[in-house]
């Protein structure tokens, strides 16, 4: 049986073994209490490390998959800037600016070292990259 202190700082594992007398009735109980706080903290830290590694790997994969078509679109839009009339130049500049914003985000995704999740709309949670 495991038990956590009320203040949440320590974890204990308790093992109770009954010792019967000659008639089979429990006369004594040997109880061993073991502080397992360090083990719990190590398991928790390892779980967080694995979770972080998974998020970082996923972010890198997504960034890579986005970058391929992104840079084709960005290159094409930049070439278009020289070939369009004055009316379209501002629209193409907006496209280029937004594609560069996406490129900055994917660069951030590939260089991330941590994350923090937060509530979003409804019951959805999103990740803030660090």
What is the number of domains present in the chain? 2
The 3-state DSSP composition of the chain as helix, strand, coil percent (nearest 5) reads 55, 25, 20
Q: Does 68 lie in the same domain as 14? A: no
Over the chain (130 residues), what is each successive 10-residue block's mean pLDDT? 74 93 95 92 93 90 94 95 90 96 93 84 82
Per-residue pLDDT of 9-21, as tens digits, reads 888 899 999 999 9
Written as six digits, the tokens of 83 are 């070939």
Q: Give the separation between CA 81 and CA 89, rounded to whole angstroms.
A: 6
Task: Residue 105: give the domain boundaries.
Answer: 47-129
Q: Does 30 lie in the same domain as 58? A: no
Supply the pLDDT for residue 1.
Answer: 66
- Are 105 and 112 in contact by the 8 Å Cβ rule? The answer is no
Supply the pLDDT for residue 121.
Answer: 86
Q: Does 52 lie in the same domain as 25? A: no
Q: Does 108 lie in the same domain as 59? A: yes
Distance set, CA 80 to CA 74, 85, 92, 121 (Å): 10, 10, 7, 37
Q: Does 121 lie in the same domain as 83? A: yes
Q: Is residue 41 part of a domain?
A: no
Q: Does 92 lie in the same domain as 51? A: yes
Supply the pLDDT for residue 122.
Answer: 85
Q: Is residue 28 part of a domain?
A: yes
- Phi/psi for 2 (5° steps) reads -105, 145
């Amino acid at each position: 049986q495991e038990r956590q202190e009320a203040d949440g700082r320590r974890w204990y594992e308790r093992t109770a073994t009954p010792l019967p007398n000659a008639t089979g009735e429990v006369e004594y109980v040997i109880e061993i209490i073991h502080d397992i706080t360090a083990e719990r903290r190590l398991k928790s830290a390892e779980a967080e490390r694995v979770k972080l590694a998974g998020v970082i790997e996923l972010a890198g994969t997504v960034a890579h998959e986005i970058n391929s078509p992104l840079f084709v679109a960005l290159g094409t839009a930049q070439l278009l800037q020289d070939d369009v009339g004055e009316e379209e130049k501002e629209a193409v500049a907006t496209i280029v600016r937004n594609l560069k914003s996406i490129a900055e985000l994917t660069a951030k995704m590939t260089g991330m070292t941590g994350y923090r999740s937060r509530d979003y709309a409804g019951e959805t949670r999103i990740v803030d990259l660090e």
